[in-house]
Structure 1
Amino acid sequence: MNLALFDLDHTLLPLDSDHEWGEFLARTGAVDAASFRQANNEWFAQYQAGTLDPVKYLEFAFGILSRFPRPQLDEMHRQFMTEVIQPAILPQAVELVKKHLDAGDLVAIVTATNHYVTKPIAAHFGVQHLIGAMPELDDHGNITGKLLGTPTYGPGKITHTEAWLDKLGLNLAGFSRSYFYSDSQNDIPLLELVTDPIATNPNAKLLAHAQARGWPVINIFDGHAQ
C-alpha cells in the first residue's frame, strides 16, 4: 500500500472552496455582501501571498459559521455543493484520485480550508480521510466560532498528517512510495517529505521550486479557467 495525499483548492478543484463559500454567503444574502466580500478578498490575497495568519483567518471563518443554527448551515452547504462545487469538479481530477483509490493506496485530502466546508467535497471525490482545520462544536453540533487544535496550513500539514498516520499505526517512512499533489508554495514543507512530490497546476513560486528540485509538474486544468 502506498500513500497518496492531495491538496484541494487549485489542486483538485479549479477554484478556492473557502473563498467561493464566502462568495456564496454574500451572493445569497446570508451575510452583508459589501463588508464580507472586502474581508474575504483581503484574506484570500494574504493566502496567495503566503502572509496569512491562519489562526486569525480561521477565527474569522468559524465566527461566520457560528451565526447559523446547524440545520440552516447544512442546508446552505448543500446548495453550495449543488450550485458551485459540483459543476466545477472536472473528470480528470476525479480520475487522478480514482487511480490511487483503485490501486489500493491510502488516500487523504490535506487542506488548509476548514473541515466543515471541505468534508462534503472530499466525499464527492470518494475520499474517506480528510485533514482540515477543525471547528469546535457545542453539544447540539453547532459551530462555536473557535478553532480546535492548530491550523492545517504550511508546516501544520506535516503535524496533522503525522498525527493522523500515527492513529492508524503508520508513519510516512513506512510507505515505499508516498505522493503529495499540490499547487502552492505553502505546501513545500510537506512536499519535501514525501517520496513523490508532484506540483499540480502550480503557481509561479511552486513551479520555480519544482523545476529547481526536478519534481514532476502536471496541469489537470488545461483549457479551464483557474
Structure 2
Amino acid sequence: MKLALFDLDNTLLTGDSDFEWAQFLISKGVLDREVHEAKNQKFYDHYKAGTLDIHAFLDFQLAPLSRHAREELDAWHREFMATRIRPMMTATAQALVRRHLEAGDLCAIVTATNSFVTGPICREFGIEHLVATIPAQQDGRFTGKPRGTPAFKDGKIERVEAWLESLGLWWGAFETSHFYSDSHNDLPLLAKVSHPVAVDPDDTLRVQALASGWPVISLRG
C-alpha cells in the first residue's frame, strides 16, 4: 500500500482558497471591503513569510461562518466553486491526482484551510479523504472557532497520524509515502514522508528541496 498526500493551496490549486474565500465574501458585500481586505492580505503575507499566528487568523477567517445559516453559506460556496476554484484547477494537477488514485494509493488532501471551504474542493478532485482544520459547530451552526489542532505546520503531522489511526493504519503500513507541497510551512510533513515533492515552491522550500535532493515539479500547465 502507498500513501499520497497533497497540499491544496498553491499546490493542487494555482491560488489560495482561504484567501479567495474571504475575497469572494468581500465581493458579495458579506464582508466590509475596507475593514477585511487589508486584514486578509496581511494574514496571507504572514503565511508566506512563515510568521502567521494561526489562531489569530482562524478567529478572522472562521468568524463569518458563525454569522450565517448553513444553507446560505452552502449557496455562496457553490458560486465560489464555479467562479473562483474551478478556474484554479489545472489539468496537470488533476492528472497527478488521477495517477495516484488509479494506482490504488491511499490519497488525502492535507490543508490548513478549513474543511467547510475545502471539502467540496476535495470532492471535485475525486479524493475521498480530507485532513483539514475543522470549524467547530453547535446546533447546526458554526461557532467561529476551530475544533482540535489546526492542520498547520507540525499540526499537519498530528492530524494525519490521527486520521491514519482512525483507519487502523500508521506510517509503517505504507511501502512509500508522498507529500506534494509548495510551502516552507509544510517542511515538517515533507520531512516525515519517504518521498517529499516540492510543487512550484516558494523560495525557502526551493532552497531546501534542492539541498535535500527532493524533486521539484510544476502543476501550472
TM-score by length of 1: 0.96
Count of aligned residue pairs for this structure pair: 221
Aligned to 1:201: 200
Q: Which residues in structure 2 correspond to 1:45-194 (within 5 Å)?
A: 45-139=45-139, 141-194=140-193
Q: Distance in 2 between matches of 1:169 and 1:88?
A: 34
1:36-84 Cα deviation digits (max 9, x unpaired): 1011111111101100111121122111211111111110011100111
Aligned to 1:19: 19
Q: Which amino acid aligns with 1:115?
A: S
Q: Distance in 2 between matches of 1:5 and 1:14?
A: 17
Aligned to 1:147, the other structure's residue is in SS state: strand
User: Which residues of structure 1 form unaligned runs of 5+?
Assistant: none
Moved over 4 A (4+): none
Q: Between Structure 1 and Structure 2, which shows a larger proportion of helix residues?
A: 2
1:5-31 Cα deviation digits (max 9, x unpaired): 000001000000000011100111111
Q: Distance in 2 between matches of 1:63 and 1:75?
A: 18
- Percent identity, aligned pairs only, is 49
CA RMSD, 1 decimal: 0.8
Aligned to 1:179, the other structure's residue is in SS state: strand
User: Which residues of structure 2 form unaligned runs of 5+?
Assistant: none
Q: Which amino acid aligns with 1:200?
A: V
